[in-house]
Amino acid sequence: MSKKGGSDDGTILGNSSIPALDTNGTPAASRQLTRERSELDEKQQEHHDMLIRCIAQNCGFSGNRTVAACIIFKCLLNWGSFEVEHTSVFYRIIQTIGHAIETQADNNDVLAYWLSNSSTLLLLLQRTLKPSGVTQAPKKSRTSLMKGGRSPTKNIGGQQDLIGHWQDIARSLTNFLNTLKANNVPPFLIRKVFVQIFTFINVQLFNSLLLSKEFCSLSNGEYVKAGLTEIEQWCVGATYEAIQLTF
């Protein structure tokens, strides 16, 4: 009597489940899953590329809100990037922002734009993510905010020229303040920036006086007093709370 549905060695195969194999011997279901994952990765990569192209441009502002920061946050939230341990999109975003800052290091408008976006994005992240620890940001050198600045005591000449030099500084401060405000930089950040600027002026000015004996004279003392009075008047005339609190 023959064995129905059996093999030569007597094993019954009638109810066994044998997965379908492709020509390479790989199960068809596994191959389909791999293809779906590949398509998903390609689609995700396309979305990442679109985001990077978007934030590489100046997205401007919607009212007082920084558009680029909001777009970045919404995309990361919708993609579930905060739930993934490792993702390349964070690195690409940081690299894009860093490249924009490095290539436009002398453009205060660009620097203020990214300062505003970065602070907004940080605030959104802090509200969303639970802090795992407190990390202090590395301190920046104060001189980095005043690259290319001239020494206040350099080329001391006529008294009128000296006052004119302080007035040039005041005009530069006004332009810088307007740039920060135009890019919606938060007031507390504006205050911190100007604290560093004024501290730099103090350090550079008094170090120059102390290290150069020829500068230690009554006329130079009057020059310093007149200059600080000019800056103080600028702070009062700025009519901006964040600035007035720094002086």
pLDDT digits (tens, 9 = 90+) for 143-158: 443 344 444 444 444 5
In the numeric block, the tokens 């407190």 are attached to 134
Are 93 and 72 spatial neighbours (Cβ–Cβ below 8 Å)?
A: yes
Is 85 part of a structural domain of the chain?
yes
Taking the C-alpha atoms of residue 205 and residue 196, their distance in angstroms, rounded to an integer, is 14
Is 237 part of a structural domain of the chain?
yes
Is 17 part of a structural domain of the chain?
no
Is 216 part of a structural domain of the chain?
yes
Whether residue 154 is found in the same domain as residue 78: no
Is 220 part of a structural domain of the chain?
yes
Is 137 part of a structural domain of the chain?
no
Whether residue 229 is found in the same domain as residue 154: yes
Percentage of the chain with pLDDT > 90?
Answer: 33
Last residue of a domain, one of 128, 152, 179: 128
Averaged pLDDT for residues 1-7 = 49
Structural domains in the chain (count): 2
Contacts for 90 with CB less than 8 Å, ≥ 6 apart = 81
Q: What is the pLDDT of residue 137?
A: 46
List alpha helices for the chain, DSSP H: 28-55, 67-79, 88-103, 108-128, 159-182, 187-211, 218-237, 241-244
What torsion, rounded to 10 degrees, do the Cα atoms 53, 58, 63, 66 define?
60
What secondary structure letter does DSSP report for 65? E
Whether residue 186 is found in the same domain as residue 219: yes
Instruction: Tell me, letter by letter, the H, E, C secondary structure of 93-160.
Output: HHHHHHHHHHHCCCCHHHHHHHHHHHHHHHHHHHHHCCCCCCCCCCCCCHHHHHCCCCCCCCCCCCHH
Whether residue 238 is found in the same domain as residue 210: yes
Quick check: 49 pLDDT over 80? yes
Whether residue 123 is found in the same domain as residue 155: no
Whether residue 114 is found in the same domain as residue 157: no
What secondary structure letter does DSSP report for 10? S
Q: What is the pLDDT of residue 69?
A: 95
Is 103 part of a structural domain of the chain?
yes
Q: What is the pLDDT of residue 18?
A: 53
Whether residue 109 is found in the same domain as residue 174: no
Whether residue 110 is found in the same domain as residue 164: no
Q: What is the pLDDT of residue 51?
A: 94
Mean of the per-residue pLDDT values for the chain? 77
Whether residue 110 is found in the same domain as residue 150: no
Taking the C-alpha atoms of residue 152 and residue 161, their distance in angstroms, rounded to an integer, is 12
Q: What is the CA radius of gyration of the chain?
A: 32
Q: What is the pLDDT of residue 172?
A: 93
Confidence band for 162, pLDDT divided at 50, 70 and 90? low
Whether residue 152 is found in the same domain as residue 204: yes
- Residue 64 phi/psi, 5° resolution? -100, 10
Is 2 part of a structural domain of the chain?
no
Whether residue 160 is found in the same domain as residue 235: yes
Whether residue 122 is found in the same domain as residue 39: yes
Averaged pLDDT for residues 221-235 = 85
Q: What is the pLDDT of residue 130?
A: 63
Quick check: 140 pLDDT over 50? no
Domain boundaries, position 108: 34-128
Last residue of a domain, one of 102, 128, 154: 128
Q: What is the pLDDT of residue 39?
A: 72
Last residue of a domain, one of 97, 128, 159: 128
Number of CB atoms found within 10 A of residue 174's CB: 13
